[in-house]
């Protein structure tokens, strides 16, 4: 059997996690290529439907990366995002997909190491969980080729 390579979508806030990813790159800190970054103007911009659609379209895991508590550029977008992630977790538990495929993480723009570490930890966690059960075998192949 082929080794399972999870597809993970990371919604990263422009003001922190996205810059932290950049920092990780500048410092030559490696992180798994499984993580596909989507830059958002604030983690609070990420709606529940974005997370659900990512999973429906073939992602095995999704995480939202926002600023540290109290540091949001838009005051409390990161807290709104955290609440939405909790809501989606419950919905996914009900669906049978499992809420543990979705996470909320917080970091500052200077935390390149934390970004790489988070990407690695989440990738390994999803690898252990296995493929998203909502994917048909044909979808799995298509998703890993994208």
Partner 1 sequence: MITAERKPLEEIIECIRPYDRILLVGCNECVTVCAAGGRKEVGLLASALRMAFMKEGRTLEITELTLERQCDPEYVEELVTMIDAADAVLSMACGCGVQEVARRYKNKPVYPAVNTKFMGASVSQGVWAERCQGCGDCILGLTGGICPVARCSKRLLNGPCGGSTSGKCEISDDVECAWQLIWDRMKELGIQDRYEEVMVAKDWRTSRDGGPRKIVREDLA
| Residues engaged in binding partner 1 (CB under 8 A) | 47-49, 52-53, 55-56, 91-92, 94-97, 133-136
CA–CA separation, 105 and 12 (whole Å):
10
Please say which residue, 8 or 111, places its beta carbon nearer to partner 1: 8
Given a contact cutoff of 8 angstroms between Cβ atoms, the answer to whether 116 and 31 are in contact is yes
Read off the tokens for 65. Answer: 């990366």
Query: Look-up: residue for tokens 């103007």?
Result: 41
- Cβ 130 to partner 1, closest distance in Å? 13
CA–CA separation, 56 and 40 (whole Å):
20
By C-alpha distance, which of 80, 73, 125, 134 is closest to 102? 125
Please say which residue, 29 or 38, places its beta carbon nearer to partner 1: 38
Please say which residue, 47 or 100, places its beta carbon nearer to partner 1: 47
Read off the tokens for 14. Answer: 């422009």
Please say which residue, 36 or 83, places its beta carbon nearer to partner 1: 83
- Cβ 20 to partner 1, closest distance in Å? 29
- Cβ 53 to partner 1, closest distance in Å? 6
- Cβ 112 to partner 1, closest distance in Å? 33
How many CB atoms are located within 10 Å of the residue 96 CB?
8
């Amino acid at each position: 059997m082929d080794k399972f390579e999870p597809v993970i979508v990371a919604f990263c806030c422009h003001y922190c996690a996205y810059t932290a990813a950049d920092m990780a790159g500048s410092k030559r800190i490696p992180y798994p290529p499984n993580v596909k970054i989507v830059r958002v103007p604030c983690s609070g911009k990420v709606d529940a439907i974005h997370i659900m659609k990512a999973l429906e379209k073939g992602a095995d895991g999704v995480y939202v990366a926002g600023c540290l508590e109290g540091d949001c550029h838009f005051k409390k977008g990161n807290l709104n995002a955290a609440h939405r992630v909790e809501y989606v977790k419950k919905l996914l538990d009900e669906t049978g997909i499992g809420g543990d495929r979705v996470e909320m993480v917080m970091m500052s723009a200077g935390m390149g190491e934390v970004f790489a570490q988070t990407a690695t930890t989440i990738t390994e966690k999803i690898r252990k969980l296995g493929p998203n059960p909502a994917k048909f075998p044909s979808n799995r192949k298509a998703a890993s080729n994208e």
